[in-house]
Structure 1
Amino acid sequence: MRGFIRYQFISYIRSLKMIPPLTVFGLWVIILYTYKDVPILSSYAVTSIAIYLIMAWITMSIFSIEGESEKHILFMQLGSKLRYLWGKWAICLFAAIILIIFSIFYPILMNNFREAIQPIHFGLSIYNHFILALFGIFVGTFFSVTSFASKKYTWLSAILVIVVSISYSGLVEKVGLLKWGLLLFPPVMNVIKYLNGEDMVHIGQEFWLAVLWGLTYTVVGFIVILKMFLLKER
């Protein structure tokens, strides 16, 4: 398994597919923190959304390293289709951790925030960046390893899901009937709503319910992907 992860990592680096998403993300963060004295929570909300978008991009590029024939050869070498999936996810998580560390510590090191960062800010930033990174990996994986959308529409479908999930509040406000159907989309706005206000935040029951829903969606979503992947590749 370690050999496969190492092989995937080297293959991804050599493919140069990581350059566009990493460049876009790096520029996004640097431009965001061009000015000093920016608010903490709302700034982290922006970089959380950025990680969501970029991780979907990175995940789809990681799953596109090899073709169908190479993939089936890897299945045989690994002795398990699940090991293939777990290995891919390991690379995705490694990329996500790098982006999260950069997102959180860059403005701190550059002294961009208008006030000193508190433990509550730090905890919220880690949670939001990590859960949205998982949402991005979920979306990217879903359209890479399942047969939900035809191959030529995978990127378009992923973009559609991302846009709808980010626009959830506005869509529900305009068309209330969409509320239940949109529960199938990653609850992005439900997660980051605690980063959209002032730098003072109250952690209460509503917050923990939002955390529970975000974690539940993630766990159930990845289980669904596992099942759909195995059905497709049987």
Structure 2
Amino acid sequence: MTSLVSFLHTCYMRSYRYGPPTFVFFLGIIFVYSVVPNPVMASYAFSTTFLFIISAVICYTFIDIETSNQESVTMLHSGSLLKLYISKLVYSWLFSVPLALYAVLFPALFQKFDRNPSFEELCMSLIYHVSSSWLGVALACWFSSKFIRSRVMSFLLLSVVVVVTLSVQGIENILPEGLENMILLLPPLNSTVNVLVDYDAATLYSKLNVIGASLLYGVISAALFLFMLHRRKLDSSYS
């Protein structure tokens, strides 16, 4: 799988599709921290949300990077469609790790905070960024052209889902009684943001629980995506 991920990396670098989202992220972080000082964990709550959005865009631009003919050849070399798309999901997530490091280390190293963050805060913030980026990847994969042919429609739908995810707390307050559980279908990004904003008051359980929830949601979402992709391939083979 390492060689496959390396090949996908080469394809993505040559496509230059990574340029706009990474440029926006780097510039956005610099702009946000142009005014100092800033609260430590509340600032990380913002950059975690920002990285979630950027990771979703990165996965969206990467998941369909190959043409149908190119993908068929790559699938033959990789051995299976599932292995190819697992590699795509893993690569999309790995691509966001340097962005997470940048978001955590830039303000700390250049003294953009009102105090020096502790080692624990830096480590936990990095984990929150990485787990939230996985949420973005696991969400965006569903908007592949394998499921939605129109790229305009798929991007609009992804944008709507991202906005709804960011507005989940307000939506939960206006939902009729009995429908609150529908919120569980959305990525648990809001839980991570709440923990970061109230980090000092949060218990160790809640700090770790939101990480586990993000990773678990991402794994379930990605597994369902791969299952549906496999079913779709089987259906097309028999039709």
Q: CA deviation at 1:146?
A: 5.0
TM-score by length of 2: 0.89
Q: Which residue of 1 aligns with 2:197?
A: 196
Q: Which residue of 1 aligns with 2:169?
A: 169
Shift in Å at residue 145 of structure 1? Answer: 6.3
Secondary structure of the corresponding residue to residue 30 of structure 1? helix
What is the number of equivalent residue pairs in this alignment?
232
* Structure 2 CA distance for aligned equivalents of residues 158 and 119 of structure 1: 35
Give the conservation status (yes or no) of the 8 Å contact 1:146–1:228.
no
Residues 51 and 133, structure 1, Cα contact 8 Å, conserved in 2: yes
Tell me the distance in 2 between the aligned counterparts of 1:73 and 1:162.
33
Q: Which 4+ stretches in 1 moved above 6 angstroms?
A: none
CA distance in 1, matches of 2:72, 2:128: 36
Q: Does 1:223 align with 2:226?
A: no
- Residues 75 and 81 of structure 2 are in contact (CA less than 8 Å); yes or no, is this contact kept in structure 1? yes
Compute the displacement of 1:87 (Å).
Answer: 2.0
Q: Which runs of 5+ in 1 are unaligned?
A: none
Cα offset for 1:49?
A: 0.7
Aligned residue in 1 for 2:16:
16
Separation in structure 2 between the aligned mates of residue 69 and residue 179 of structure 1, nearest angstrom: 44
Deviation at 1:12, TM superposition (A): 0.9
Q: Does the 8 A contact of 1:40 with 1:117 survive in 2?
A: yes
Structure 2 gaps of 5+ residues are: 235-239
CA distance in 1 between partners of 2:27 and 2:56 (Å): 17
Farther-moved stretch of structure 1 (59-68 vs 13-22): 59-68
Following TM superposition, by how much is the alpha carbon of 1:4 offset from its aligned partner in structure 2, in angstroms?
2.4
Q: Which amino acid aligns with 2:144?
A: S
Structural mapping, 1:140-179, within 5 Å? 140-144=140-144, 147=147, 149-152=148-151, 153-177=153-177, 178-179=179-180
Alpha-carbon separation, structure 1, partners of 2:213 and 2:3 = 35
Write the deviation string for residues 164-214 of structure 1: whole angstroms up to 9, x where unpaired. Answer: 1110000111224442222111011012211123x6343244444434433
In 2, distance between residues paired with 1:3 and 1:124? 31
- CA deviation after TM superposition for structure 1 residue 127, in Å: 2.3
The answer to whether the 8 A contact 1:29-1:47 is kept is yes
1:23 and 1:112 mapped to 2: Cα distance? 20
The DSSP-based 3-state class of the residue aligned with 2:144 is helix
